[in-house]
Chain A
Amino acid sequence: MEDILRLSKINKSFPGVKALTDVDLTIKKGEVHALVGENGAGKSTLMKIISGAYTKDSGEMWFDGKVVEQTTPKESEEMGISIIYQELNLIERISVAENVYIGRYPFKNGLLQWGEMYKNAQALFDEFDLNIDAKAIVRSLTMAQKQMVEIIKAVSINAKVIIMDEPTSSLSSKETESLFNIIRKLKANGVAVVFITHRLDEIFEICDRMTVLRDGHYVGESEIKDITKNEMITMMIGRELTQQFPERSSEIGEVVFEVKNISDGGDKVKDVSFGVHKGEVLGIYGLVGAGRSEAMRMIFGVDPKVSGQVFLDGKEIKIHSPRDAIKHRMGFITENRRDEGLFLRSSLSANVVMVALNKIMKNGLINYKKEYDATDGYIKKLRIMTPSNQQKAMYLSGGNQQKVVLAKWLFSDSDYIIFDEPTRGIDVGARREIYQLINELVADGKTIIVVSSDMEEILGISDRIIVMHEGTVAGEIKKEDFSQNLVTEYAVGERVDQA
């Protein structure tokens, strides 16, 4: 097959970081090409060079047989390259349709054709069977819905190459399936897709070929059918990975954390009740829109709840704000790291200590040595790739940013921790470290709730799973009954336990 896009000997440095060294990449017409590598390997940087968002230091690029000099993002789009960036780039205050057609609004006689725009956008969503209202304001959507809007936006540009930088990181299996249907359609039309993901199973399902980067270097490429998952991991991390989910031997005690009848008064969260035991990891699964994150946000006091109670050790506690929750030794890692977790312009160390400033005080003043020591500890433990603990959070790769958010809450010493998509964007190797850390936390007698859209993860780390469907708890599954089928049946509403 013909090459549609080729890059050769690409180099790129940032202050203190050599992000790419002599990287090659060849994309063939109509193929789905996986780009894999650890956090900070340089995947996003390479993609941004292709899209014109970054300028390469050296190297060459061919598109459709012609040499391409530096382009602007607008020019590459016109040339036939569209990109879904790792971090969402939608404008929150305007409608979905406006976001999809931004920069290419339909005009007639100098007037914006709103009706046409809404109609076309809605047609796109309907075509791919997505339950999204084109007139909705983006702010009101969940992360996953926003992600789908980004995907539709990129697809609606008639591109020859579509780059997708971790499009599935906040999607559950159903939306991922929709995305794969979209990709198959694109492929049938001869469009090439560059697909980045840390969920390796997806690669075997949808991709034809792959290229591996490590530490900013090209490691190799392969047909997917010629390689096993373990070989892929070895290429990525340069060593073998044993056992994705480390063994846990924690003692499960009494119910220490309990919520009763949490409702938002509308239909996103209806009468959610559950309990978690000391030393237990409770997994919460559900499709997008099932109300998992919404319920957690109400429990933690981020969003107001209309009714419902929270009990710690059998005593009811009143939570009106995250501050109240934190005072009761709760922690909450939200799914949206960029808007809700990070202080992008602040240093890595300032981010890590933000919740637990008390821990770095000495004689009433902030002690920078303590701050740096704590941060360096997490940089090592979570293998955060950064030139220093003073790097601004905005300059870290997506997965490394996620690790900073985790570090922030680990440092807070909370006893009841809610992880909402904890490993979003984190590579396989580091993921194992995080599962290990979760094991250590429960071994310490802490109580953990993990909300995840990743089936493998939820089955792998939970002691018990509750599945939500349309705002209610559809069912509870004990460890001995864990199976993908059962979880799915509850999640899609085919099976409901009457509590």
Chain B
Amino acid sequence: MNIHHVIAAAALALGPGIAAAQTDPLDSPRWGDMKKEFLPAAARVVFDERVRVIAPLTAENALNVPVSVDASALPDVKEVLVFADFNPIARIVRFEPGGAQPGLGFRIKLQQSSPVRAAARTGDGSWHVGGTWVNTTGGGCTLPSTGSASPEWQKRLGEVSSRVWPKKEGGERLRLRVIHPEDTGLAAGIPAFYIQQLDLADAAGTPLMHIEGFEKKLPTTPGCSPAAARISASPTAATS
């Protein structure tokens, strides 16, 4: 079905934090650019294994790569920015955990093999960066293109389904799916159309998590049509 959905899952508990390193553990030539583009020049930036990015080492379907980010081993996380160095739209999602644990699972599109990273800002203003390489052959591009070609999403646009699971270690996990084409603007003739903002709150209206998606137009990349990193899925918060 050509509908992108949004699913997110909360983070798992983690072990103790590990000391930060200063050279890019993923050894990516794009790291310098990423840092300059997304993180404030004056900020303290450290690589920190307490920020876990979990994704398959090999993604079979580049249109639907599952990624989980978990920064719950860090104290006082204010916001988390997720990006993929080699994607035409590098920025994937930004979230503020608010009343939830700083953990989020979602699906992205990858144009080519790339590091996928999460940078978490803690209350002291420093950024903690974790990540993992995801390899992809780009095989996902041969699948029928999604989204706008399907009449179904127009009828169901914005439809939300969700369910809450209790977590063994306490707290809850929310999984959420939103019917939305999540078009990147990179496919020829299809304008960008994606979820810009998603706010989760509990029944009393207390904010749990604020989530933002991104889009940036670039010249169409030859080869694969919906070229970009997009949250085909989004979020959730674990209320803890």
Q: Does A pair with B? A: no
Which residues of A are interface residues toward B (Cβ below 8 A)? none
